[in-house]
Amino acid sequence: MKPATAQPGLGIHETLGDARLQLAIYTATQRLIDHRKKAVASDVLPAYQDLRTLAHQIKRHTIEHLDYYLEQVEANVTARGGKVVFCEDANEVADFVLKLAKEKGERLIVKSKSMTTEEVHLNERLESHKLEAVETDLGEYLLQLAHQRPYHIVAPALHMTRHDVADVLTESLGVAREIEPEKQTKIARATLREKFLEAGIGITGANFVVAGSGAVVVVENEGNARLTSSAPRIHIAVAGIEKLIPSAKDLAVFLKLLGRSATGQPLTVYTSFLSGPRREDEPDGPEEFYLVLLDGGRTKLLADEGKRESLYCIRCGACLNHCPVYRKIGGHNYPWVYSGPIGAIITPQFHGIDTDPWLPFASSLCGACLEVCPVKIDIPKVLLKLRAEVTASGAKGKRERTAFRIWAWVMGKPRLFALFGSLAAHFSPRPKNGAWIRRLSWPMNPPPLPAWLSQRDLPAPAERSFRSQWKSRKAAR
């Protein structure tokens, strides 16, 4: 995990100054916004709003009865010949995979896209033990080659243009430079096919884990997750404990929402139901199946009624695409693997608010995230609660608290408020012809005015406030 930071790093400044990157982020997110908008339009999906409400209710029910469903899923997976492994933290996940690989004598592991394994830095751990773990989702594969973490929950290489992709492929695989996406895909495919055939272990994530049947549901567009789960002789699915849903009929709600919210697809190209190892009458599938369920800080959230809904997330990425802050600062300036609005609320809850106290404040509270969230997580509300926790912890310093205390006191004293207003109006510089202030010098530039003026001009306070003009207006009548 990254070291604690009271302020965001210089990365934001650099990202904002990179015109090419800005265009790449804005264009890619706009495409996803447009696609989603069409896919949830009321003439296409009249029940969209009802489905959101239902999805929220199902998640709430499941999270509030998680102990029951965890037991149920364990029983059902076991009954189908699989094994459930509960892991308290990231290290335990890596320990389990390492131990299993050693026991079974496997050295090559293929992986399909999984944010949960990003949480636990699985690839780094495996590599440090001389195992080879290969990402098979095209975007994730490119990131692995480029030694980067995902930029986006759903579109991990969202920030890379095809020219960037060409550079990565040429530099790491030594192939001829290709800028056509189709040809680039073929290069990756050729390499990955070999890996699929050789690998003894396949690790997938899980979009949903059906407690009532023990099935793991994986949605994807490239077919690599299906191969990962079926070609190697061992399949490990890694999921956060919040991925549970009670029964397969709940999928009728979630599958309608997930693809549409993420990429605007009514359904993704592949929807795989993976339930346990191959049975005798089945032609293919793995010999062994393990479901790794990770807590990793999640149970801490269960105790907090006001913020618990953060666990309802189905990782569609819609809040990232629609967030005007994410669209400016991109994915890598968020401190953890989860970026955007959902990252801003779960990172401090999983890791503690002291780690990156600036994070809950990096939002204009515009509410676009809540508007598009398929499970209606009230992200602005949770951000506000986290902000209050940060200030209560003292992380914002005494000066700010004192300033707000004095401010609140003045707001309860109308005459004093009016007096301060007229003093400010009296001493403020007043550019000619009603123009706005471009710069201020000492002592007229106390914080936060320099921060404002770094980007924008400032209006001078009115020569006569409304309250003063109202008195004359009334007297004149």
Partner 1 sequence: MPSGRVSLFVTCIVDQVFPSVGLAMADVIERLGYEVEFRQDQTCCGQPAFNSGYPEEAATVARHFLRVFEGAEYIVAPSGSCGSMISHHYAELFPRDAEMERRTHELEPRVYEFSRFLLEVAQTDDVGAKFDGVVTYHDSCHALREMQIKQGPRRLLGKVRGLTLKEMDAAEECCGFGGTFSVKFPEVSGAMARTKIDSIQKTGASTVVSIDSSCLMQLQGAISRAGLPIRTMHLAEVLASR
Q: Would you state the structure tokens that stand for residue 173, as one six-digit string?
A: 């695989």
Do the Cβ atoms of 136 and 195 come closer than 8 Å?
yes
CA distance 161 to 434: 45
The gap from C-alpha 428 to its chain's centroid, in whole angstroms, comes to: 44
Q: Report the nearest approach of partner 1 to the CB of residue 396 (Å).
A: 7
Which residue lies nearer to partner 1 by CB, 112 or 355?
A: 355
Q: How far apart are CA 235 and CA 200, in angstroms?
A: 9
Q: Which residues bind partner 1 (CB under 8 A)?
A: 8, 12-13, 16, 26, 324-325, 328-329, 358, 360-368, 370-371, 384, 387-392, 396, 400-401, 404-405, 407-412, 414, 417, 421, 424-425, 435-436, 438, 447-448, 451-452, 454-459, 461-462, 464-467, 469-470, 473
Q: Which is nearer to partner 1, 42 or 455 (CB)?
A: 455
Coil, helix or strand for 73?
Answer: helix
Residue 289 C-alpha from the chain's centroid: 28
Helical segments of 330-447, H only:
340-351, 368-372, 379-392, 398-411, 414-427
Nearest to 468 by CA among 431, 436, 425: 425
C-beta separation of 410 from 420 below 8 A: yes
Name which of 17 and 105 has its Cβ closer to partner 1.
17
Q: Which residues pair with 437 in a beta bridge?
A: 458
Our CA angle for 145, 149, 154, nearest 5°, is 105
Three-state DSSP at 378 gives coil
Half-sphere exposure of 314 (CA within 13 A, CB side): 32
> Which residue, 265 or 465, has its beta carbon nearer to partner 1?
465
Q: Measured from the CB atom, is 70 or 449 closer to partner 1?
A: 449
Minimum CB distance to partner 1, residue 477 (Å): 10
For residue 450, the minimal CB distance to partner 1 (Å) is: 9
Residue for token digits 């793995």? 286
- The nearer residue to partner 1, 292 or 344, going by C-beta atoms, is 344
Neighbours of 117 (CB within 10 A): 30
Nearest to partner 1 of 80, 396 (CB atom): 396
Smallest gap from residue 463 Cβ to partner 1 (A): 9
Task: State the alpha helices, DSSP H only, in 330-367.
Answer: 340-351
Closer residue to partner 1 (CB): 249 or 401: 401
Q: Which residues pair with 442 in a beta bridge?
A: none
Q: Which is nearer to partner 1, 270 or 452 (CB)?
A: 452
What is the maximum span of the chain, computed from C-alpha positions, in angstroms?
95
| Strand bridging mode 208-210 / 215-220 | antiparallel
- Residue 417 CB, shortest distance to partner 1, in Å, is 5
Min dist CB 405 to partner 1, Å, is: 6
Residue 299 Cβ, how far from partner 1 at the closest point, in Å?
25
**Three-class SS state of 237:** strand
